[in-house]
Amino acid sequence: MSLPDEKVPLISPVEDKVSYGCFHPKGVGYRYTVLLVISLICFGSYFVYDEIQPIGKSIESSLHIGDSQFLLLYSVYSFPNMVLCFFGGILGDKIGLRVASLIFCTFCVIGAFLTALGPQLVVGFGSLSVSPLIGYIIMVAGRVVFGIGGESLNVLQTSMVALWFRDGQALAVAMGLTLSMSRLGDFLSLALGGNLANWFGGYTATLWIGAGLMTVSLVACIVYSIMDKVAEKHFTRVVDPSQNELNFKAVLNFDIRFWAISFLCLTYYSGVTPFIGLCSNFLQDKYGFSKTEANHYSSVTILTPMILSPFLGKLLDVLGRRPYFIILGSFFILPAHLIGAFTDWNPLIFIIPIGLSFSLVPSALWPAVPLVVNEKELSTAYGMMTAIQNAGLGLVNYVVGYLAQHVSLFWAMIFFAVMDTLGFLGGILLLVLDKRRDGVLTASPKSAGATGSIN
């Protein structure tokens, strides 16, 4: 039994039989309070990322832009992360999670305020006003700055959860709860973004509220830094630097299944993320929905994974068989996009399956990486995988925007179906490759349990 003032490794379970108070760093209450604070760190960034979707029509009208220019606001978020997210986790290891998170969260806050400032200067900001072109340029710049911090902040948040729950007893649940809190920010953005614009007299109100919530996330980073610093007095952290080295040579030797997973990540998210960005406009144009109605429908794509992700993550940790679930999730989304393109059925008929797919595939995809990559090369692998994902999203958002504006929304949906098909075939390829090797992805995780992060 450890004495109350004795330091113990934070990465091992707390087995002390001493009863600690709720606010003692070695108490269970303190650890879950830290988890709550960590969960808020990306709450604001998820809200800001999709805050432009429910007010897309207003942005286009005010800034005199079309769908392609609108979706560029999503693409420019991905551009910095073709490279930066490769190094974000490494920076956290080099200078510490506390300092790194404050740096990247500050970028997010500045980007969120610039994103709101550009349109506000167009509609009027006191005696200041600018042309729609200048306002759009400022808004694009804001999304770039926001992107510089956004993905790296996600990586650091995952590292924080792993640091405090590395004993493994509650890691899957902790990561699932953190993801659900982040998706709550996304859901509120999609569900209430249009209402906020109506309640507060203009669409720019949604953007300013997003900037405010991003500031709340910065405060959460500060609170985490304080709580983590206090905990250092009671815990000894043993870090193996080799486990988080950026190993460029390792990339050349990665298992072929890692590249199949990365291909899946690119194709799958290319069918989901741009669709979410365009969904509200699509529903307004095709079904004649009001902005509020369209936003409520489109928010279902986020509400479903927000609720289901913690449970599915835990289920997959128990069952394994990840390629089968990836194929199943891809099966849900492919016909859903085709139904949206070719029929006039109730939109929930295709929106709900997309939400189910978005719950299932990420929960199976991201935790598969540690099963085929050495532990000391995980940071390199996740960095490469996220860079590939963002490179694909940057290009796909541009293509989808061009199709929506210059061809038709119908062909944008067909493009999504093509990406879904590639993802479905990629899932089959992953299954075949795993069967021909050691079968670790299709086996039960009892003998090879590695837990990864879910994005």
What's the CATH number where 146 sits? 1.20.1250.20
- Rounded CA-CA distance 54/296 in Å is 9
Give the position of tokens 């960034």.
Answer: 45
User: Quick check: 47 pLDDT over 60?
Assistant: yes
- On whether residue 16 sits in a domain, the answer given is no
pLDDT-derived band of residue 3, with 50, 70 and 90 as boundaries? Answer: very low
- Given a contact cutoff of 8 angstroms between Cβ atoms, the answer to whether 135 and 207 are in contact is no
Q: CA 153 to CA 141: how far, in whole Å?
A: 19
Which pair of structure tokens corresponds to residue 20?
């600690």
- Domain end (from 213, 238, 263): 238
Q: What local confidence, expressed as pLDDT, does residue 102 receive?
A: 94
pLDDT value at residue 339: 94
- One domain, residues 321 and 269: yes
pTM of the model: 0.75
- Residue 308 has what pLDDT? 84
231: pLDDT confidence band, cut at 50, 70 and 90? confident
pLDDT at 248: 60
pLDDT range class, residue 100, cuts 50, 70, 90? confident
pLDDT for position 221: 95
Residue type at position 363: S
- Average pLDDT value for the chain: 81
* 223 strand-pairing partners: none
At residue 9, the pLDDT reads 39
The pLDDT score that the predictor gives to residue 392 is 86
User: Looking at the predicted structure, is the pLDDT value of residue 243 above 50?
Assistant: no
Answer yes or no: are the C-beta atoms of 50 and 277 closer than 8 Å.
yes
What's the rounded Cα separation, in Å, for the pair 164 and 39?
13
Weakest mean pLDDT among 18-22, 44-48, 75-79, 141-145: 18-22
pLDDT beyond 70 at 149 = yes
Which strand (E) or helix (H) includes residue 370?
helix 369-372
In a domain, 266, yes or no: yes
| The pLDDT value given to residue 120 | 94
Rounded Cα–Cα distance for residues 31 and 64 (Å): 49
Which of 219, 238, 257 represents a domain boundary (last residue)? 238
Residue 414 structural domain:
240-455
Scan for tokens 């614009």, then name that residue: 197
Provide the 8-state DSSP code for 65: -
- Rounded Cα–Cα distance for residues 377 and 193 (Å): 40
Residues 51 and 146 in one domain: yes
* pLDDT value, residue 216: 96
Write the DSSP symbol of residue 202. Answer: S
In-domain check, residue 17: no
- Residue 350 is predicted with a pLDDT of 92
Alpha-carbon gap, residue 74 to 167, rounded angstroms: 37
Question: Is a pLDDT exceeding 80 seen at residue 1?
Answer: no
Residue 285 corresponds to which tokens in the numbers above?
Answer: 């144009």
- DSSP H/E element including 17: none
Most confident of 84-98, 125-139, 159-173, 217-231: 217-231
The tokens describing 217, both together, are 């996330």
N residues, the chain: 455
Decide if 225 is inside a domain.
yes
Instruction: Please determine, for residue 394, whether its predicted confidence score (pLDDT) is greater than 60.
Output: yes
- The DSSP output letter for 433 is H
Percent of all residues in the chain with a pLDDT value above 90, rounded to a whole number: 33
pLDDT digits (tens, 9 = 90+) for 269-302: 999 988 987 888 889 888 988 878 888 888 888 8
Instruction: Give the residue with greater pLDDT, 9 vs 350.
Output: 350
SS3 235: strand
Q: In the prediction, which pLDDT does 447 show?
A: 53
Burial of 288 (0-12, 13-18, 19+ CB in 10 A): exposed
User: Of all helices (H) and strands (E), which one includes residue 435?
Assistant: helix 409-436
Do 248 and 175 sit in the same domain of this protein?
A: no
The pLDDT of residue 25 is 63
Task: Say whether both 344 and 441 belong to one domain.
Answer: yes
Provide the percentage of residues in the chain whose pLDDT is more than 70. 83
For residue 22, is pLDDT > 90? no
Which residue is associated with the tokens 């897309």?
Answer: 56
382 and 363 in a single domain? The answer is yes
Span between the terminal Cα atoms of the chain, in Å: 38
- Which range in 30-34, 67-71, 122-126, 345-349 is most confidently predicted, on average pLDDT? 345-349
371: pLDDT strictly greater than 70: yes
- Model pLDDT for residues 164-201, shown as the tens digit of each residue: 776 545 666 777 788 788 888 988 988 888 888 889 88
**Are 181 and 284 found together in one domain?**
no
Give the DSSP H/E element, type plus range, for residue 9: strand 8-9
* pLDDT given for residue 38 in this prediction: 93
Question: CA–CA separation, 81 vs 389, rounded Å?
Answer: 9
pLDDT at 445: 56
Which tokens belong to 320? 């394994």
Q: Using an 8 Å Cβ cutoff, are 167 and 157 in contact? A: no
* 74 close to 254: Cβ distance less than 8 angstroms: no
pLDDT tens, residue by residue, 421-450: 999 999 999 999 998 888 888 886 565 444
Q: Which helix (H) or strand (E) holds 236?
A: strand 235-236
In a domain, 10, yes or no: no
Return the axis-axis angle of helices 28-41 and 204-231, rounded to nearest 10°: 150
Structure tokens at 308: 């289901």
79-93 pLDDT per residue, tens: 887 777 767 666 766
Q: Do 135 and 254 share a domain, yes or no?
A: no
**409 and 286 Cβ atoms separated by less than 8 Å:** yes
Q: Are residues 141 and 231 in the same domain?
A: yes
Same domain membership, residue 209 and residue 135 = yes
Residues with Cβ < 8 Å from 396, sequence gap 6 or more? 270, 274, 419
User: Both 228 and 169 in a single domain?
Assistant: yes
**Residue 2, in any domain of the structure:** no
| Number of domains forming the structure of the chain | 2
In this structure, what DSSP letter does residue 404 have?
Answer: I
Is 12 a member of any domain? no
3 located within any domain: no
Worst-scoring range by mean pLDDT, 92-96, 188-192, 343-347, 385-389? 92-96
Clarify whether residues 249 and 383 are in a common domain. yes
User: Quick one: how far is CA 341 from the chain centroid?
Assistant: 26
Question: What value does the mean pLDDT take over residues 246-270?
Answer: 82
Domain end position, chosen among 238, 265, 280: 238
Verify that 283 and 165 share a domain, yes or no. no
- Contact predicate 370/451, CB 8 Å: yes
For 365, the token pair is 């995809």
Read off the pLDDT of residues 396-420 as tens digits, 9 standing for 90 and up.
888 888 888 888 889 999 999 999 9
How far is the C-alpha of 336 from the C-alpha of 357, rounded, in Å? Answer: 10
**Predicted confidence band of residue 455 (pLDDT cuts 50, 70, 90):** very low
